């Protein structure tokens, strides 16, 4: 019991430290620097400590200090309770979703089984969708409670867009579930030990559809209609400032990490190295003894998983700074007339192939 408790606390601390302590602040810098590189600019490079700029990394620290001194403004006539609650409803699911995403396999360490996932649920992927859907309420409440026309229009757009793409996104992974026969993310990851059993090879169309829907669900360019600056000022969070504004900002960046983790787990071999099985990895580290080999294999698997996550973060950033914003009618047409029918066709073809083979 004590060992299980220590393991659980260690996993929670690790996951939340990586997400909130590393990815959340660093992705703001990545957004600026990657866009600058793509547009032949220098990017953030002014903030410094004793003359050291650390290629602009201190801007994240400067932003955090600035936000702490910002006024927490609530418009006259706004619903104070829901205006305050909305950013929490957006941020908490973004943080909590990662608890069912495995960042490693199972390892035998000092006679104790270590499973690198906080909550190994039988219905892990359903848990992800259930939590992710809650963020819609936060966005809609933010738009409605602000008593601003711009915010209300952003909230209305967000409700239509997020609810529409949830339907399509749920259908895009049905093919993966049919192929692997499980809703448990750890089991789906374990079944991808063989490189040619990765989801990207078994469900290439499902991967493209899921990533598209996930980016739209996160309201990132080219699907940022709920916060289109040229039309709605800042959309649903126009009337937010200080820490509440940052909570929306953090939720968006943490969802990028979560999307990358889910794509890695479902389509890109989870924690597995290409062409290297778990047994081969343990054999490679035999010189360190049984416990040492398991520990080294665990570190390699965790590093592999987060390397894949970082790649998909880069891919999402590249898409964000490459494609222009769609019109609102184009966003909705893409979902209902293209992605949804394609996902249904993918399910039909997958089911027929599995039935025949």
Q: Would you give the distance in Å from CA 142 to the centre of its chain?
A: 21
| Averaged pLDDT, 41-61 | 79
pLDDT grade for 316, boundaries at 50, 70 and 90: very high
Q: How far is CA 231 from the centre of its chain?
A: 27
Confidence of residue 157 (pLDDT cuts 50, 70, 90): confident
Task: Say what the pLDDT of residue 76 is.
Answer: 78
Arithmetic mean of pLDDT, 263-281 = 90
Average pLDDT for 144-165? 83
Handedness of CA 10, 14, 15, 16 (dihedral sign): positive
pTM for the predicted model, two decimal places? 0.90
56-78 pLDDT per residue, tens: 777 778 877 887 787 777 777 77
Does 295 or 78 have the greater pLDDT score?
A: 295
**Range ranked top by mean pLDDT from 140-149, 213-222, 264-273:** 264-273
Residue 149, pLDDT score = 82
pLDDT-derived band at 191, boundaries 50, 70, 90: very high
For 66, other C-beta atoms within 10 Å of its C-beta total: 11
Higher pLDDT, 252 or 234: 252
**What pLDDT is recorded for position 253?**
87
Q: Is the pLDDT of residue 30 over 90?
A: no
- The token pair that represents 320 in the structure block: 């964000």
Alpha-carbon gap, residue 20 to 34, rounded angstroms = 21
Mean pLDDT of 204-215: 93
Residue 302 has pLDDT above 90, yes or no: yes
Say how far apart CA 324 and CA 221 lie, in whole Å. 7
For 68-72, 213-217, 251-255, 299-303, which range has the lowest pLDDT when averaged over its residues? 68-72
């Amino acid at each position: 019991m004590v060992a299980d408790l220590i393991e659980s606390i260690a996993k929670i601390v690790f996951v939340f430290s990586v997400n909130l302590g590393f990815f959340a602040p660093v992705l703001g810098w990545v957004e600026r620097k990657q866009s600058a590189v793509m547009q032949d600019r220098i990017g953030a490079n002014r903030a410094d400590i004793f003359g050291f700029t650390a290629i602009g990394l201190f801007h994240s620290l400067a932003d955090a200090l600035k936000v702490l001194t910002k006024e927490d403004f609530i418009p006259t006539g706004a619903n104070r309770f829901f205006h305050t609650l909305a950013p929490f409803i957006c941020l908490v699911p973004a943080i909590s979703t990662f608890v069912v995403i495995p960042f490693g396999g199972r390892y035998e360490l000092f006679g104790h089984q270590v499973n690198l996932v906080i909550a190994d649920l039988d219905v892990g992927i359903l848990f992800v969708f259930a939590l992710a859907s809650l963020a819609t309420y936060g966005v809609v409440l933010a738009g409605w409670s602000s008593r601003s026309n711009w915010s209300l229009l952003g909230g209305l757009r967000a409700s239509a867009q997020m609810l529409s793409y949830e339907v399509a996104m749920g259908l895009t992974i049905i093919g993966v579930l049919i192929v692997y026969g499980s809703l448990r993310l750890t089991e789906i990851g374990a079944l991808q030990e063989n490189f040619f059993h990765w989801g990207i090879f078994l469900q290439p169309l499902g991967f493209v559809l899921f990533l598209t829907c996930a980016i739209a669900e996160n309201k990132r360019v080219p699907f940022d209609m709920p916060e289109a600056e040229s039309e709605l000022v800042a959309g649903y969070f126009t009337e937010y400032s200080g820490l509440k504004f940052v909570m929306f900002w953090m939720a968006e960046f943490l969802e990028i990490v979560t999307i990358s983790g889910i794509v890695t787990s479902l389509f890109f071999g989870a924690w597995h190295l290409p062409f290297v099985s778990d047994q081969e990895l343990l054999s490679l580290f035999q010189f360190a003894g049984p416990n040492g080999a398991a520990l080294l294999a665990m570190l390699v698997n965790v590093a592999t998983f987060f390397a894949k996550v970082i790649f998909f973060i880069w891919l999402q950033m590249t898409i964000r700074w490459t494609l222009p914003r769609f019109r609102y009618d184009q966003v909705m047409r893409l979902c209902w007339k293209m992605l949804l029918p394609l996902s249904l066709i993918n399910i039909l073809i997958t089911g027929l192939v599995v039935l025949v083979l």
